[in-house]
Amino acid sequence: MKPILEIQNISKTFRINHEQTPYLSMRDAVSGIFKSSATEVETFYALRDISFSVQQGDTIGIVGKNGAGKSTLLKILSRITPPTAGQIKVRGRIASLLEVGTGFHPELTGRENIFMNGSILGMKRSEINSKFDQIVEFSGTGKFLDTPLKHYSSGMQLRLAFSVAAFLEPEILIIDEVLAVGDVEFQQRCMGKMEDVSKSGRTILFVSHNMGAVQALCKNSIYLQQGQLKMQGPTGQIIQTYLNDQPRACNTIRTADAVKRCAVLQVEKTMQNEQFAEVTVRIHSISSMACALDLRLSSIDLTPAGFGSLGTFNPKEKVQLQPGDNIVQFRIPTSTLANGLYYMSIDLTEPDKEYYDRAEQALLLEIANQPIVATGRVLQLDWKYGTQQIQIQKL
């Protein structure tokens, strides 16, 4: 069977006019006739030569950093903006959810907005009529159907918006980060609904920064980097590559402080997989000495999540430092951490006596492990365990 989506050599460029405002005014256009093009025009590739195809029933995750071209790709697929080169063969009806509640108007009532939004999303009036009761029930806003939307709480607006979208029945559904909004309960409901949709044999393209959600929903993924298709394949591998690429920007590089006897210069994650993360620490020392290396993990809101040490609990494990730069490598297990982002801080101490150095939030660690459903341990959400001891395995 032919793929439902064939993306062939898609590129999208924008011209960046340096020294000019993005809004053209008539005056600029008229004066531009007389001016030789003194302004520098740079061609920027938002997407460069992207090709892949999607089979019917696939759920494809699209991952990549901000600015990698994910949203541009979705906009091209949704026909909002055309590609500069290349073509896409589409064999089905596409509905795109680049935001929830497109076309909602605050002055219209809930009932009217359901029809407006449904129609904008591509539903026929008869279709909306037949699903109207289900939509209302799913949204739980039945009491306020004839109240103008502006009197709704933002949560209610969101629920109503998602409910309309949830009853779309296209062959291809394109979703951009809509799950990033709303509370935990809402997000779970969205995820549940999307799983239903994908089980019913429809094709989903899903962009998210939430690796847990991508992992849970998508079997295959593509990884965009600076407008180019870096990799495509099973989601697990893609996320691994993505995570290995990503946190380098957050790594600490510091300069040695002459007064300190030893200092953390650099913390870098050298590898990560589902079981462990491998961290390399460069430590500068002014003399030959032994110190304890303590490691603290905190969640992104700085709640402590774990503590581990080489040397504090067992003096034999202390790190031996030589004068000059030393490299210390170790592994920490990550399979017991809830999915989410963690900061890693590293301290060099003489236990119970003195802190030599503290490198706060030296590394950003993202955990996006496949939920282990078989044993009933589903760690998808950012659920805090409280602090736990981390077993550090020195390499």
Site residues (CB under 8 A) for other proteins? 14, 23-27, 29, 75-93, 96, 98-99, 102-103, 105, 107-108, 112, 115-116, 119-121, 124-125, 148, 171
- Interatomic CA distance for residues 113 and 107, integer angstroms: 9
Task: Quote the crossing angle between the two packed helices 154-166 and 110-120, to the nearest 10°.
Answer: 40
Q: Considering the complex, state which of residue 14 and residue 383 has its C-beta at the smaller distance from other proteins.
A: 14
Q: Which two tokens stand for residue 288?
A: 């030959």
- Interatomic CA distance for residues 104 and 247, integer angstroms: 38
DSSP, residue by residue, 285-305: ESSSEEEEEEEEEEETT--EE
SS3 state of residue 358: strand
Q: Considering the complex, state which of residue 46 and residue 229 has its C-beta at the smaller distance from other proteins.
A: 46
Whole-Å CA distances, 207 to 228, 274, 305: 15, 22, 28
Q: How many residues does the chain have?
A: 395
Q: Considering the complex, state which of residue 119 and residue 280 has its C-beta at the smaller distance from other proteins.
A: 119
Phi, psi angles (nearest 5°) of residue 271:
-165, 150
CB of 265 to other proteins, least distance (A): 45
Q: Considering the complex, state which of residue 136 and residue 149 has its C-beta at the smaller distance from other proteins.
A: 149
CB of 179 to other proteins, least distance (A): 16
CB of 238 to other proteins, least distance (A): 24
CB of 48 to other proteins, least distance (A): 14
CB of 212 to other proteins, least distance (A): 26
Q: Considering the complex, state which of residue 145 and residue 341 has its C-beta at the smaller distance from other proteins.
A: 145
CB of 197 to other proteins, least distance (A): 16
Q: Considering the complex, state which of residue 54 and residue 291 has its C-beta at the smaller distance from other proteins.
A: 54
Sequence-distant (6+) residues with CB within 8 A of 200 are: none
Handedness of CA 252, 255, 256, 259 (dihedral sign): negative
